[in-house]
Structure 1
Amino acid sequence: MAPGSVKPSWRKPAGALGIIAWIFLWVILVASFSSWIGQLHVLAQLPIYIVTGVVWVLPLGGVLRWMETGRWRSA
């Protein structure tokens, strides 16, 4: 390894696999409620799908920070 080069970290591939697993689990969770949500009026479905489409991103901030720094929270 050349002087001054950075050693690759295992956190990035592990974090990427974790993110993919999280997305997969989130999709299964939302899809499991689809029959119930589908019975609602379209205007009632809209906020549910907007919220579920945005909320899955919230836990990823810590994971992305961990992938870059090795810490879950900012210092």
Structure 2
Amino acid sequence: MPVRLRKLIGMILIVVLVIVYAMLATTFATLLLATSPWWVHLLYFLLTGLLWILPAMLIIRWMERPAREE
């Protein structure tokens, strides 16, 4: 697969990942953490704010692989 096509697909995947992840994390927080104290909200959003980086790193690593010589 050409590098430019891989980067385009990766960019689209990262945008979709961020949108879906933010919607799921926020929905979960409003449904289950509504009556929790402020420090639970702080820990939750701190954790979920950093957790999306792991799948994004995998996508970026895949995007940056050099093209195979064919």
Instruction: Say whether the fold is shared (TM-score over 0.5).
Output: yes
Rg: which structure is higher? 1
Bigger share in helix: 2
The normalised TM-score by structure 1 is: 0.75
- Unpaired runs of 5+ residues, structure 2, are none
Relative contact order: is structure 1 or structure 2 higher (C-alpha 8 Å, sep ≥ 6)? 2
Match of 1:30?
25
RMSD: 2.0
Q: Find out whether 1:16 has 2:11 as its counterpart.
A: yes
Match of 2:60 among 27, 39, 64: 64
The normalised TM-score by structure 2 is: 0.80
Identity across the alignment (%)? 25
Quote how far apart the aligned CAs of 1:52 are: 0.3
The alignment of Structure 1 onto Structure 2 pairs a total of residues equal to: 65
Runs of 4+ in 1 over 2 A off after TM superposition: none
- Unpaired runs of 5+ residues, structure 1, are 1-6
Structure 2 Cα separation of the partners of residues 10 and 17 of structure 1? 11
Quote how far apart the aligned CAs of 1:34 are: 2.7
Match of 1:43 among 39, 43, 66: 39
